Amino acid sequence: MSDPAISARDVAKVYRRFQQRHQFKTLKSALLTGSLLSDLTPDETFTALDGVTFDVPRGATFGVIGENGSGKSTLLKLVAGIARPTRGSLRVDGRVSALIELGAGFHPEISGRENVIINGVMLGLSRREVEERFAEIVAFSELEEFIDAPVKTYSSGMYMRLGFAVAIHVEPDVLLIDEVLAVGDEAFTRKCLDKIAEFRRRGRTILFVTHSLGHVEKMCDDVLWLRHGRVSGRGDPKRVIDAYLTYVAGGEDALLRSRQLQAAAEAAPASSPGDEPRAAGGYRPGRWGGREVEITAVRLLDARGRERHVFVPGETLTLALSVSAREPVDDFVFGLGLFAADGTSVYGTNTDLEDFAPRRLEGTGEVRVVLDDLRLVEGSYFVDVAVHRRDGTPYDYHRGLYSIRVKSRLKDVGLYRPAHRWEFAGGVLVDTPRPRPELDLRDEPAD
Amino acid sequence: MIGQVLTLFRYRALIESLVSRDLKARYRGSFLGFLWSFVNPLLLLLTYTIVFTLILPVGKTPRMEPYYLFFFCGLLPWTWFSSSLAESSSVLIGGANLIKKVLFPAEVLPTVTVLANLVHFLLGLPILLAVLAWEGRLGPTLLLLPLPVLVQLVLTLGCALFLSALTVHFRDIGNILGHVLQLWFFATPVLYDIEILEGTLRQILRLNPMGHVVLAYQQILFHGHFDHWRGLGAALVAGLVALGVGAFVFDRLRDTFAEGV
């Protein structure tokens, strides 16, 4: 019993890329030289997995996370036996059923009933076994009325439901799940999760690949994080998921930063003195104004004064504006606007509204707005900054050239998260949730 | 090769299911449905009868009368052979979904193609036998019919494995195959009597294993006597070689299918 259900040692998978033109070349040369087999050499290779080592103990639920293209699905295919590792060894003990593509192999022209039988046989059951489980499979899929109709008449949801129902009733020792919980409606997803939980209770081994970190955290005993085909983390789900999220946030940070530079570069030459704001309704990034006073740089800073673009709710965000005046002016207002990704205004204010009286602006200087306790829900937000006359004539208006992303462990909705708490009294009993601290992004290096 | 045959045997339930699915799916939605299995050979017979008795009435010897029956005996097995090869060349690419997502031996797919076409052949057989009976040519040699069927099965399966595996990497095969099969058809004595050919040409055509298989069918069904043992034996050897080569190539390329299709 101590033998692991899945054991991978230094597994690597190298995909070979054949190009279309190359194929013609090989056929011609193959026909000329008569060496069909030896000419099947690839042009270039792509390493999907490299040096992956792990054990999955019997009865464990094992999660695999990682970005798109990190090798998760390749790993699953290797475990399923559909592909073979290029190097290393991979051993799987017991019957494997893979929920990789549900309903792969359904034939559109024949009925659901016949497809269930064939699919069951294909997944390794005998005909008798499928027939014994037939009623259960159909009941699980909730397709009793349609089971004799050709599957081409099924909706994609029905198709998936039937596929899931067959695959889950194969009763494997090792169940492989790839991103299939996005099947059908809430109720069906619930049912699938219940069935998977039942599997866990019965001590079956599950290998689970998904982007739904919530499911991974809830169901898995152990998590493997793949990054560019290599193991980047392994162990307790919460710890690995946190490390993964921090990494993803860092990646987004870099992406937002580069997008911002691009937006600024595009906007700058287009602006000319006296440019008017675009028609209301469309929120488009841009820059305009007479530039008597210019905002020469805008930095988004965290509490430690480091530049960042990804924040978590409750953090401090500081907007630092470097300004420079061509000639001394005494009529100036600094403004700030915060917009949701769809252009909805979240908040706007300026120094005039808040009764700061301008006295003099000369040479260069810096203006900072400190937003203590950023109470935004998860999402992307655009930032407007501006300097203009009290009558509204712009000196330098930056619309949507800066953006921040708020990441949160709490999936609440809307834009604004008021400080709040829940209270229950009388006959209302709830379990207090495990506290979910927000991600800690402070240690992210700011390059 | 033996290992692969054993694998196929272990997966016989799947093969059986897939063959029956193939047959059901083929005519599903058409008006005549399953009757097409009978109508198809009849229409084929009609077409060739019109062409070779009315339009091109050449090269016939008395041994070949009644001509329509003579070539029907060769045409039916030839159709099994050529449709199997034509379909198997694309069967792995068409089954990409299965190969990439489901774990099962890929040999199953070309095997299913060959067997489904065998079933079509067997369904067409009663029509041929009925016509033979009507012409009074049904004899005891009919009991030997399983022999050429078996030889043809081995030969067809070997070619199908070979073609299906290679087409994954050389898609051109799909285009060229139709022409090769056309040429192969005329190199096989279906429409003519091998006896009318002489010299080198005849020697070359004797190298065609399908020719011997078709001759065996003609002797057994049409002429009512069978003495082509050596030819059929040679065809069996050729078939086993084809199966060995096909299985070897298929096995060598197996790991590339999931990426190539």
DSSP assignments along B197-249, one per residue: --HHHHHHHTT-HHHHHHHHHIIIIIIS----HHHHHHHHHHHHHHHHHHHHH
Name every chain B residue with its beta carbon within 8 A of the beta carbon of A16: 256, 259
Q: What is the DSSP string of B69-103?
A: HHHHHHHHHHHHHHHHHHHHTTHHHHTHHHHHHS-
Selection from A101, A119, A104 nearest residue A166 by Cα: A119
Same domain, A212 and A288: no
**Domain assignment of residue A418, yes or no:** no
- The CATH number of whichever domain residue A344 belongs to comes to 2.70.50.60
Q: Structure pTM?
A: 0.65
Distance from CA of B63 to the nearest CA of A (A): 41
On whether any CB of chain B is under 8 Å from the CB of A81, the answer is yes
Residue B179, pLDDT above cutoff 70: yes
Would you call A150 and B28 a contact, using CB atoms and an 8 Å cutoff?
yes
Residue-level pLDDT at B30: 73
Residue-level pLDDT at A279: 33
Selection from B151, B164, B149, B152 nearest residue B246 by Cα: B164
**Domain assignment of residue A445, yes or no:** no
Residue-level pLDDT at B183: 94
How many A-B residue pairs are in contact by the CB < 8 A criterion? 84
**Domain assignment of residue A317, yes or no:** yes
Q: Which residues contact B216 (CB under 8 A, 6 or more apart)?
A: B147, B148, B151, B226, B228, B231, B232, B235
Average pLDDT of span B43-61: 80
**Residue that terminates a domain, selected from A225, A246, A267:** A246
Same domain, A34 and A111: yes
More confident residue, B65 or A427: A427
Same domain, A45 and A120: yes
Would you call B28 and A110 a contact, using CB atoms and an 8 Å cutoff?
yes
**CA A373 vs CA A235, A406, A416: distances in Å:** 33, 12, 12
On whether any CB of chain B is under 8 Å from the CB of A110, the answer is yes
Same domain, A184 and A237: yes
Residue B91, pLDDT above cutoff 60: yes
Would you call A109 and B29 a contact, using CB atoms and an 8 Å cutoff?
yes
On whether any CB of chain A is under 8 Å from the CB of B30, the answer is no
Give the closest of A16, A36, A124 to B259, CB-based: A16
Same domain, A242 and A287: no
| Dihedral pair phi/psi, residue A354, rounded to 5° | -95, 20
**Mean pLDDT of all residues belonging to chain B:** 87
User: Residue ranges of chain A with pLDDT lower than 50?
Assistant: 1, 20-22, 24-25, 35, 37-39, 268-281, 444-447
Same domain, A27 and A135: yes
Same domain, A239 and A299: no
Same domain, A227 and A315: no
Same domain, A31 and A118: yes
Name every chain A residue with its beta carbon within 8 A of the beta carbon of B166: 36
Same domain, A102 and A219: yes
On whether any CB of chain A is under 8 Å from the CB of B145, the answer is no
> Is the Cβ–Cβ distance between A361 and A330 less than 8 Å?
yes
Count of structural domains within chain A: 2
Residue B213, pLDDT above cutoff 80: yes
- The CATH number of whichever domain residue A10 belongs to comes to 3.40.50.300
Q: How far is CA A100 from the centre of its chain?
A: 19
* ipTM greater than 0.85: no
Would you call A80 and B103 a contact, using CB atoms and an 8 Å cutoff?
yes
Distance from CA of A124 to the nearest CA of B (A): 8
**Domain assignment of residue A437, yes or no:** no
Average pLDDT of span B129-133: 90
Both tokens assigned to B169: 């990497």
Q: What is the dihedral of CA A29, A35, A36, A37, to 10 degrees?
A: -130
**Domain assignment of residue A28, yes or no:** yes
**Domain assignment of residue A34, yes or no:** yes
On whether any CB of chain A is under 8 Å from the CB of B102, the answer is yes
Cα end-to-end span (Å), chain B: 23
Q: CA A48, A49, A55 angle in degrees (round to 5)?
A: 150
Distance from CA of A308 to the nearest CA of B (A): 42
More confident residue, B13 or A182: B13
Would you call A105 and B101 a contact, using CB atoms and an 8 Å cutoff?
yes
**CA A421 vs CA A256, A307, A411, A432: distances in Å:** 33, 32, 16, 12
Would you call B28 and A109 a contact, using CB atoms and an 8 Å cutoff?
yes
Name every chain B residue with its beta carbon within 8 A of the beta carbon of A87: none
Selection from A423, A431, A427, A316 nearest residue A368 by Cα: A316
**Residue that terminates a domain, selected from A246, A266, A300:** A246
Residue A86 identity: T
Owning domain of residue A370: 283-406
Would you call B24 and A110 a contact, using CB atoms and an 8 Å cutoff?
yes
- Chain B, 148-167: which have a CB under 8 Å from a chain A CB? 166
More confident residue, B40 or A257: B40
Residue B162, pLDDT above cutoff 80: yes
Residue-level pLDDT at B177: 94
**Domain assignment of residue A260, yes or no:** no
Same domain, A191 and A298: no
Q: What percent of chain A has pLDDT over 90?
A: 16
Residue B8, pLDDT above cutoff 60: yes
Both tokens assigned to A255: 């992406």
**Residue that terminates a domain, selected from A196, A221, A246:** A246
Beta strand spans in A129-229 (E): 174-178, 205-209, 222-227
Beta bridge mates, A220:
none
**Domain assignment of residue A160, yes or no:** yes
Name every chain A residue with its beta carbon within 8 A of the beta carbon of B103: 80-82, 96, 98, 124
Same domain, A154 and A10: yes
* Three-state secondary-structure class, residue A175: strand
